[in-house]
Amino acid sequence: MLESYKKDFEIVPTLYPAQKTFYYRNRMDFAVFPGPIVGQREAGSFRHIVDLETCLIQSKESNEELYRFRNLISKFPNLPYDRKSDSGFLKYFTLRKAKNTSELMTILTFVEEFKNTIEEKEFENVCLKSLKADHILFCFNRRKGEISATGEIKILKGMDSYKELVCGKEFRVPFDSFFQPNPEGFQPILDFIEKEIPDSFDHLVDLFCGSGFFSRIFAHKFLKITGIDSIESSLEIARKQMSLDFPKIDSSYLKVDLFSKHSSSKLKVLFSSSDKDVLIADPPRAGLGEFVLDALKDSKVSYFFYVSCNPTSQKSDLWKLKDFFQIQKILITDPYPQTPHLESVAFLKRKNFTT
C-alpha cells in the first residue's frame, strides 16, 4: 500500500499503530443458530458459525451481557432461526457499548412473524429479568434477510439510542446507525483534520454524516454546515444536537441517498456554491460511489478530507480524482487491531485552487 501510493501519487502515507489491542470495539453482531450457537461467521464461510463464549475485542461489560444471553437462550432451544429448515425466530444478538459513558444497548433481531405472538411476550419477560443492558430492543425484519439491528423495533427497556461522548460532545447513537467502532482509536484521525482545516473557510459539507459526527466536532470552525445522509433517524439527532450545541450556526441536514442517481443534481448544486467550502466524507467500505465522484470532478470544493475504513477503495477513488485534486497528506491508522481493517484520512486540495 505504501509503495503504491508513492508510485501512483508521489506521496508516502504516515502510519499510526494501535495503542490498545483488546476490549476496544463498541459494537458486535453475533449470529444465532440452532444448538444454540451464538457467534461469528467463519472467514470465507457464510453458513459456518464459530460459537463464542467471549470476545476479546468487545468491552468486558458486553462480554458479561453475552454470558447472560447465552444462559438465557439455552432455555429456549426452539427459538434460534434455522436457515436450512426455515423454522425458529431469533437471527442475531447485537451489543453496543459506549466507550466514554456507561451505557450498554442489547438488540435482538427476529423474523417478523415472531412479533405479537405468545412466544414473544414470554421471551420478553425473561429478557427483562435476565439481561442488564440500559437499553433492550427487539427488532423485526424479513425472514430471509441476513441483516442485524435493522427493521421495526420494540423497546423493552430504555431508549432506541444510547449516549456517547467524543471530544467532550454528547452523541445520541440510534440503534440502527453507524458510529465509529473505536472512538479512542479514531482520535488520531480527528486530530489530523483539526490541524489541517483552514481558519478562513465558512462552510463545512459533511457527506455520509450519520448523526453529525464530524460536523459537530468541527462546528466551532464554521458559520454554515450542511450534512447529508440517507438515515432519517440519524439526521433527526444531528439536527437536534446541532441546534442545542451551536444555535448561531446555519445548519441543515438533508436526507439524500448518495448512491442514487437522483443525488447528482443536488450534489452539483451544493458543490458549486463556493470555492470556500470544506468537504469531509466518510463513506461505507465500498467508497464514494459514482455520483459523488462525478459531482466532485465538476465542483468548486477546494479542501477535501476523505475518511475511509477501506484504504483500498479509497485509493481507487483517489485515482479517479487525480486530475482534479492533489493529495497533500495521508494518515493510515489501526483502530481495529486483531482484524484486517484499517482507517485512513486523505487531505486533498483542488488543483486549480489558490489561497
Q: Which residues are annotated as a binding site?
A: 180, 208, 229, 282
Q: Which of 55, 127, 209, 309 is catalytic?
A: 309
Grid cell digits, residue 313: 477503495
R_g of the chain computed on alpha carbons: 22
Question: Is there a contact between 181 and 337 (Cβ–Cβ < 8 Å)?
Answer: no
The amino acid that residue 231 corresponds to is I
Active site residue 309: yes
Question: What's the N-to-C CA distance of the chain in angstroms?
Answer: 31
3-state class of 277 per DSSP? strand
Q: Which residues pair with 228 in a beta bridge?
A: 207, 254
The number of C-alpha atoms within 13 Å of 281 and in the hemisphere containing its C-beta is: 26
117 vs 246: CA distance, rounded Å: 45
Residues that constitute the known binding site for S-adenosyl-L-methionine: 180, 208, 229, 282
Region of 208 (left: φ > 0; alpha: ψ -120 to 50; beta: rest) is left
- Measured CA to CA in angstroms, residue 219 lies from 58, 87, 152, 201, 205 at distances of 31, 50, 33, 12, 11
207 vs 249: CA distance, rounded Å: 18
Catalytic residue annotation: 309
